[in-house]
Amino acid sequence: MPLFDAVTADHVHLAMQEYDARGATSFLNRYGFGPSRDYVVVHEGRTYDSKAVLGVALKHAEGRPATSSDLSGSKDAAAKILVDLGFEVMTVEDLRRGESATGSWQESTDVGTEDSHAAWALAAREELLETAKTYHAVISTKDLATAVQRRSGIRTSKPAHHWMGSVLARVARDCAERDEPLLSALCINTDGSVGTDYAETVLTVTGQRPADPDVHAADERLKCYQQCDAAGLPSNGGHRALTDKLTASRARARKKYHAEKAATLCPTCQMALPATGICDSCD
């Protein structure tokens, strides 16, 4: 596709770095792409949505990203360009059936729940440590679930939300025993949040329930980046940050709250209106 003639492997690497920093869901939403249904790029043990990465690589090459419609003509066009640039590309189906890092697969039903969760927790720690090497990077539950199964060689047909909470709790307890920041804070759900299980985990390992779990997680993530001397970490130590998606959703909620609050005040005396809508003070 001539549109991508200026794109080089370096531009793709820059797009991947942004993908890692934002997290898959935020990255795709920002540039208007959906999750890949056909091909993914595999790079340094991580997977990336092929069309989205190529589209954003164009931004680094020419100043503007390609849109989803720019890549809608052929389902394998983006894959061919990425292969020509030297990247490993797999179909989504092959990835699901693909080889594990151990060279063979075991089913979690054969291994047993306890041993599977223990193995996945060890694999999750390694994956989360890799994530922490990039400032403000996070990893989605979906991507972490895929990674820990490949790293451990133990797979399951159960959805990640049935077992990832247990795995992340094990990771958090291990971090607490090592006197480390909680690596589990780097894993987010589709809303850009650490989810409801995080507060319970923090309560278990510290004895205190965080007032705002996502703010607590942002603090822990910053400590993780600092401990790992993350790429892109400012010399002043950086700052904590909620994910882009969560920041946006909270801003919308605040705007709605203030709008509703303003709408229920008497325009004359600014006192709260009763359910009748008639101000008792000004009637």
Q: Is the pTM of this model over 0.75?
A: no
Q: Which stretches of the chain score pLDDT less than 50?
A: none
Task: Yes or no: say if 155 and 108 are a contact pair by the CB < 8 Å rule.
Answer: yes
Q: Which helix (H) or strand (E) holds 47?
A: strand 46-49
Judgement on whether residues 118 and 80 belong to the same structural domain of the protein:
no
DSSP 8-state assignment for residue 273:
P
Name the residue type at position 129.
L
Q: Which helix (H) or strand (E) holds 7?
A: none
Q: 278 lies in a domain?
A: no
Judgement on whether residues 93 and 110 belong to the same structural domain of the protein:
no
Judgement on whether residues 70 and 132 belong to the same structural domain of the protein:
no
Judgement on whether residues 208 and 120 belong to the same structural domain of the protein:
yes
Of the candidates 225, 156, 228, 167, the residue with the CA atom closest to the CA atom of residue 195: 167
Of the candidates 15, 37, 36, the residue with the CA atom closest to the CA atom of residue 27: 15
Q: 90 lies in a domain?
A: yes
Q: What is the pLDDT of residues 192-224, one digit of tens each?
A: 999 999 999 999 999 999 999 999 999 999 999
Task: Yes or no: say if 134 and 232 are a contact pair by the CB < 8 Å rule.
Answer: yes
The total of structural domains in the chain comes to 2
Query: What are the two backbone dihedrals, phi and then psi, of residue 55, each rounded to the nearest 5 degrees?
Result: -60, -40
User: Between vectors from CA 36 to CA 9 and to CA 159, what angle results, nearest 5°?
Assistant: 125
The residues, any chain, with a CB within 8 Å of residue 262's CB and separated by 6 or more, are none
CA–CA distance from 243 to each of 27, 101, 167, 181, 186 (Å)?
A: 11, 30, 22, 18, 10
Q: 274 lies in a domain?
A: no
In 60-189, beta strands by DSSP E: 88-91, 106-107, 139-140, 154-155, 187-188
Q: 173 lies in a domain?
A: yes
Judgement on whether residues 85 and 130 belong to the same structural domain of the protein:
no
Q: 25 lies in a domain?
A: yes
Per-residue confidence (pLDDT) for residue 230, from 0 to 100: 94
Q: 167 lies in a domain?
A: yes
Q: Which of 97, 122, 140 is the last residue of a domain?
A: 97
Judgement on whether residues 220 and 135 belong to the same structural domain of the protein:
yes
The SS3 assignment for 39 reads strand
Domain that holds residue 16: 2-97
Judgement on whether residues 117 and 196 belong to the same structural domain of the protein:
yes
Per-residue confidence (pLDDT) for residue 157, from 0 to 100: 76
Task: Yes or no: say if 199 and 213 are a contact pair by the CB < 8 Å rule.
Answer: yes
39 forms bridges with which residues in the sheet? 91
Q: 64 lies in a domain?
A: yes
- Residue written as tokens 């061919």? 80
The residues, any chain, with a CB within 8 Å of residue 136's CB and separated by 6 or more, are 21, 221, 225, 232, 238, 241
Q: Which of 227, 242, 275 is the last residue of a domain?
A: 227
Q: 161 lies in a domain?
A: yes
- Count the neighbouring beta carbons within 10 Å of the beta carbon of residue 93: 10
